[in-house]
Amino acid sequence: MRLHNRVALITGAANGIGKESSILFAKEGARVVVTDIDETAGVKVVNEITSCGGEAIFCHSDVSSANDCKQMIQTCEDHFGRLDVLFNNAGILFGDDGDAESTDEEIWDQTMDVNLKGVFFGCKYGIPAMRRAGGGSIINTASFVAVLGSATPQLAYTASKGGVLALTRELSVLHAREGIRVNALCPGPLKTKMLMSFLDTDQKRQRRLVHIPMGRFGEAHEMAKAALYLASDESSYMTGSTFLVDGGITSAYVTSE
């Protein structure tokens, strides 16, 4: 198993990429801390893992809270003794996130608090735990829009994910000699509840689809497999990377819609 005897903490683990990654990591031998603000859904993920013989616990955490992030790392170490893999995956996208003129300051601040500051807090408290464990792998969920402007305005989200890339690069340099790898997973457009709620009309969805060479939205389980690669020793010479798993959207040049 690719994560045998590893301990992984995954934020935003109740749904989407986080849920699929929690289940997959457990199947690959990891002991998993499932964290989310949605306790009901998070406990269901834990039950799904344990019913198949895996090990997992749930920890209620709001990643925009420094105290919550400090506590989730402490809970991980108290329960499993160490932290080997930290997947900073929690993120939000508001339906009224638009362009610079239309986006309210409150939407901007809430998006930054979860998508960017939440990653910062995860690393702030997770890196010392990884140092105590002798190294590890940090995976930060960014997005293809961190490197490519979105055709459908979502400025706060796009800016927050660009920040995740910059943070990832710097931390990868600072901690490489400690055996702590830091990479950014950049999904393309996915068929998840979050994106489908944002692209809430057929017109919006087709406008996004036309740019994807593979002609379809990605699936959360496909991102989980990419995250597993970054978590495992198979990616042992990767750090500071922008790992694009995007159906080819960032390679495409589209002349018309």
- DSSP for 103-137, written as a single string: --HHHHHHHHIIIIIHHHHHHHHHHHHHHHHT-EE
Minimal CA–CA distance to 141: which of 103, 195, 102, 178? 195
Residue type, 103: T
pLDDT of the residue at 254: 58
13-65 residue pLDDT tens: 999 999 999 999 999 999 999 999 999 999 999 999 999 999 999 999 999 99
The reported pTM is 0.94
Residues contacting residue 239 through CB under 8 Å, at least 6 positions apart: 172, 176, 181, 182, 183
pLDDT tens-digit readout, 157-167:
999 999 999 99
Domains in the chain: ranges and CATH: 7-190+220-242 (3.40.50.720)
The set of catalytic residues is: 157
Task: Give residue for tokens 């960014």.
Answer: 142
pLDDT, tens digit (0-9, with 9 covering 90-100), for 82-97: 999 999 999 999 989 9
- The stretch 60-81 carries a mean pLDDT of 98
Give the pLDDT mean for 129-156. 94
Rg of the chain taking only CA atoms, in angstroms: 17
Half-sphere CA count of 10, side-chain side, radius 13 A: 30
Coil vs helix vs strand at 59: strand
Residue 109 above 70 pLDDT?
A: yes
